[in-house]
Amino acid sequence: MKSDFQFQLKKYNSFNVESISPIVFHPQSYDDLLDLSNKLDRPFYILGEGFNTLFVDEVAPIIIKPHFIGITIDETESTYIIKVAANENWHELVCYCVKRGINGLENLALIPGSVGAAPVQNIGAYGIELSNYCINVSWFEFSSKKLLELNNQACKFAYRESIFKNELKQKGIITEITLELPKCWQANLSYAGLNDLPQDISAIEVMKQVITLRQSKLPDPNKLPNAGSFFKNPSIVRKQWQSLKASYPDMPSYPQKDGRVKIAAGWLIEHVGLKGYQHNGVGIHDKQALVLVNHHNKCGQQILELAQYVQQKVFSVFDLWLEPEVRFVYSDGEQELETNNSIR
């Protein structure tokens, strides 16, 4: 199996922070996965394209960077069945499908990262989540050395959540996903920014509008290093929402099917006065406060400190604790961001 030693990850994470991994494995076959399962005696981290990962330390753990590629399309009478290997690029997949008249993924255009990372955090945007279309995930389990198939229910998809971030973390590796897209397509124009488009619009036009919207708000990681939304939008119980809404009537909020209410974290961060804030070479984006940016090539530790500062500011004003969407990788592996129990 191809491996790199003392590998600098700066170009492989969208925050562009320096971190050196002692060894990076690049599995690209079932035999490589078997080989890999015998080698993992220390903490490791599976890296896609690095768009949702913060390397906190100057030293990273062992990295696994899978290299499975290929797309196949089958059809039934009413659907297209698309099998995509983990290392295909997500946005290229969306374009590939929409250009062939296979519609449904257009609202998820321009989400950075690999196909294999998509189910892990159940990527979502503009009213659609991967879980709407993902019917299967192929996953290699290190302990049994077997390739297993997880259907949609087994993946335990939720808002920016899945079994792969929880019970199955560190236990295996996604090799392929299967999507099912209905031939009978209707645009999903429910989200602000799409809701004034005509109902008979084509998927290509929806995709163009999504791209325009994203480019107008989200900084291009190639120009200004960032990882998209840094925090998740908090979901709160109705009672807590009612009391917040009474104090902040213009606060955007989205009632959920389970009775809870989702609050826009970007709005909360803006309303504690941090939009456009800069300190120590890192900061909060001036067009979308949910995005933390690395202005001057600073290291992971400074971004971590900024994230903690944002959490504490929001907590002190709104009594809400923001949970990161970004994953934190230290020299000894991935860890949850510590919560400050004394103030929670």
| Active-site entry in 21, 229, 327, 334 | 229
Question: Is 264 among the residues that bind ligand EPU (CB under 6 A)?
Answer: yes
Distances (CA, A) of 266 to 58, 211, 274, 307, 322: 29, 20, 10, 13, 10
d(CA 334, CA 57): 11
| Active-site entry in 49, 106, 129, 325 | 325
Stretch that binds ligand EPU, among 65-73, 76-84, 265-273, 309-317 (CB under 6 A): 265-273
Which single residue is written with the structure tokens 């996953």? 139
The burial class, CB within 10 Å (0-12 / 13-18 / 19+), for 143 is exposed
Report helix angle 203-217 to 90-99, nearest 10: 150
Interface pattern 235-254 for ligand EPU (x via CB under 6 A): -----------------x--
Subset of 267-296 contacting ligand EPU (CB under 6 A): 267, 270, 275, 288-290
Question: Is 232 among the residues that bind ligand EPU (CB under 6 A)?
Answer: yes
Question: Is 255 among the residues that bind ligand EPU (CB under 6 A)?
Answer: no
* SS3 category, 341: coil
Which of 116, 172, 221, 266 contacts ligand EPU by CB under 6 A? Answer: 266
Residue 161 Cβ vs ligand EPU, minimum distance, rounded to whole Å: 11
Q: Which is nearer to ligand EPU, 24 or 304 (CB)?
A: 304
Q: Are 161 and 146 in contact (CB under 8 A)?
A: no
Q: Are 175 and 114 in contact (CB under 8 A)?
A: no
Subset of 185-204 contacting ligand EPU (CB under 6 A): 191
Which of 48, 113, 228, 300 contacts ligand EPU by CB under 6 A? Answer: 228
Strands 261-263 and 253-255: antiparallel
Which single residue is written with the structure tokens 């062939």? 100
190 among known catalytic residues = no
* SS3 category, 121: coil
Question: Is 315 among the residues that bind ligand EPU (CB under 6 A)?
Answer: no
Going by C-alpha positions, the residue among 172, 146, 175, 143 that lies closest to residue 29 is: 175
Q: Which is nearer to ligand EPU, 33 or 314 (CB)?
A: 314
Question: Is 48 among the residues that bind ligand EPU (CB under 6 A)?
Answer: no
Q: Which is nearer to ligand EPU, 62 or 227 (CB)?
A: 227
Q: What is the DSSP letter of 314?
A: H
The number of beta carbons lying within 10 Å of the beta carbon of residue 195 is: 9
Subset of 130-169 contacting ligand EPU (CB under 6 A): none
Q: What is the DSSP letter of 160?
A: T
Chain mean position to CA 213: 18
88 among known catalytic residues = no
229 among known catalytic residues = yes
Subset of 62-121 contacting ligand EPU (CB under 6 A): none
Subset of 321-340 contacting ligand EPU (CB under 6 A): 325
Q: Which is nearer to ligand EPU, 183 or 245 (CB)?
A: 245
Give the residues lining the site for ligand EPU (CB under 6 A).
Answer: 125-126, 191, 217-218, 228-229, 232-233, 252, 264, 266-267, 270, 275, 288-290, 325
Q: Which residues are catalytic?
A: 160, 229, 325
